[in-house]
Structure 1
Amino acid sequence: MGRKFCVGGNWKMNGSKASITDLCKVLTAGPLDPNVEIVVGCPAVYISFARSLLPESIRVAGQNAYKAKSGAFTGEMAPSMLLDVGADWVIIGHSERRQIFGESDELIAEKVAFALAEGMKVIACIGETLQEREAGQTEAVCFRQTKAIAATVKDWTNVVIAYEPVWAIGTGKTATPAQAQEVHAALRKWFTENVSPEVSDAIRIQYGGSVTAANCRELGSQPDIDGFLVGGASLKPEFVQIVNAKQ
């Protein structure tokens, strides 16, 4: 079964109306591979603005959402709010949410399930720290994080998993294509054994961690890498080359 390549850009806490206007001009001009699903994770305050500038073929994602429709949760956003302003995807469980803001596996799983129930598509992030990798815990950590999500998700149609080794985010270090493929293959095997062979065949697993125009083709050629979640390079014109990595 062919899995559609999916490339996400995570703008993180970056951007202004001026810089987003420039970036959207670059993305609109492309040209972008029509066989790739493209999603950009935009700061919440600029979602409507980015949506107004981008072609419909490029979807917009929130970078976080809470597990409730409304309430006394100062500073949080409900999935319905993101949908209301033009985002139909959301990134949940990014390593920065886990590492900096202390989000637990269980909270992330609850947020994934709630966003799906509200009609959003989800990029659910997992990945190990450098200490965990050096301790030989890569698979154990990734499986633990995935298991928490799997406990809350019944229909995987609108879920993309993003494997992002924390030690390779924003550091300039990248997992080698072989290292990345090894973890992606292990995750697919986990899905076969713990969810179903059908979900394992269909689920897209992105690689995230210092993806650039220079390394994207080799990473994208691996059999179990189904796209990228791109940080810093998604703010630059080279994001076009990363989207086109399979051409």
Structure 2
Amino acid sequence: MRVKLAAGNWKMNGTRAALAEVDTLVAEHGAASVEVLLCPPATLLGAMAERIGEAQIAVGGQTCHPEASGAHTGDISAEMLADAGATYVILGHSERRADHGESNDMVRAQARAALAAGLKCVICVGETEAERDAANTLDIISGQLAGSIPDLSTGESLVVAYEPVWAIGTGRTPTLDQIGEVHDYIRAELERRFGTGVGRSVRLLYGGSVKPSNAADIFAVSNVDGALVGGASLKAADFGGIIDALEQA
């Protein structure tokens, strides 16, 4: 039975003052029946982990370097994330792929490093608007899955997030049928590659303008095990509404 997951990606947002939102989230959802994950900027990771304490909310990083240490100014290793209190890391987000040129090979190397450090990986896949319009969505997803996910991944260590690039932060969302088509395809590809046991145990998240008003409908779609939430995760009230919808799904 896959445990549903509500993951919040704060992206490049938040200072220490924003940790007050975490206090509210802990008070209201610190014992949720689904798994809750927050991925703040690296500057807040340690402080957030301490703030959460014993509550049932995990903390994760937003990327990591494929090397464990070295002369890589400005980068953060998976070991450093784990040392700061992280148990997860987001990898291959479309903004990292676009802004930093992270290829499938790079994401796979990062994921290997994360697994070696004991972190769970949330690996992101998704098509651009042009790729969707050209009816290339499933081909793009197939290539990203094959190239980005390490061979040693398991249902415990891997989460896959489908984020159509054209829906991130735009207020636009695919139709429920479109979401279902991609999630069903990802599930089938994982089962084909890793076998039924692992393939069925990996959690699949949808990301792309998820908010309390549309969360329930999205969570009712086949093979949607939760959400990777951007802007709506910055406020406890909004993220809490998404957690509530996931608990009721």
Kept after mapping to 2: 8 A contact 1:110/1:152:
no
Kept after mapping to 2: 8 A contact 1:32/1:240:
no
The residue aligned with 1:131 is 130
3-state SS of 1:50 partner: helix
Alpha-carbon offset, residue 244 of structure 1:
1.6
3-state SS of 1:245 partner: helix
The residue aligned with 2:83 is 84
Instruction: Check if 1:40 corresponds to 2:38.
Output: yes
3-state SS of 2:72 partner: coil
- What does the per-residue CA deviation read over 1:41-77, in whole Å, with 9 as the maximum and x for residues that have no partner? 1100111111121243101001010111100111111
3-state SS of 1:214 partner: helix
| Aligned length in residues | 245
Kept after mapping to 2: 8 A contact 1:7/1:39:
yes
The residue aligned with 1:16 is 15
Aligned counterparts of 2:79 and 2:69: Cα–Cα separation in 1: 9
The residue aligned with 2:168 is 169
TM-score by length of 2: 0.94
Kept after mapping to 1: 8 A contact 2:155/2:203:
no
Aligned counterparts of 2:51 and 2:156: Cα–Cα separation in 1: 28
**What is the letter of the counterpart of residue 49 of structure 1?**
A
The residue aligned with 1:99 is 98
The residue aligned with 1:141 is 140
The residue aligned with 1:188 is 187
3-state SS of 1:40 partner: strand
3-state SS of 1:70 partner: coil
The residue aligned with 1:73 is 72
Kept after mapping to 2: 8 A contact 1:32/1:244:
no
Aligned counterparts of 2:153 and 2:92: Cα–Cα separation in 1: 18
The residue aligned with 2:23 is 25
Kept after mapping to 1: 8 A contact 2:128/2:166:
yes
**What is the letter of the counterpart of residue 241 of structure 1?**
G
Moved more, 117-126 or 50-59: 50-59
**What is the letter of the counterpart of residue 79 of structure 1?**
A
TM-score by length of 1: 0.95
**What is the letter of the counterpart of residue 171 of structure 2?**
G
Aligned counterparts of 1:200 and 1:181: Cα–Cα separation in 2: 17
Alpha-carbon offset, residue 32 of structure 1:
5.9
Kept after mapping to 2: 8 A contact 1:150/1:195:
no
Change (3 A) 1:198 1:144: same
3-state SS of 2:60 partner: strand
Q: Percent identity?
A: 39
Kept after mapping to 2: 8 A contact 1:33/1:244:
no
Instruction: Check if 1:240 corresponds to 2:232.
Output: no
Kept after mapping to 2: 8 A contact 1:32/1:243:
no
3-state SS of 1:238 partner: helix
Aligned counterparts of 2:190 and 2:60: Cα–Cα separation in 1: 25
Aligned counterparts of 1:106 and 1:202: Cα–Cα separation in 2: 24
Alpha-carbon offset, residue 25 of structure 1:
2.0
3-state SS of 1:228 partner: strand
Aligned counterparts of 2:124 and 2:192: Cα–Cα separation in 1: 20
Kept after mapping to 1: 8 A contact 2:91/2:110:
yes
**5+ unaligned residues in a row in structure 2: which ranges?**
none
**5+ unaligned residues in a row in structure 1: which ranges?**
none
3-state SS of 1:179 partner: helix
Kept after mapping to 1: 8 A contact 2:61/2:81:
yes
Moved more, 90-99 or 154-163: 154-163
Alpha-carbon offset, residue 154 of structure 1:
4.3
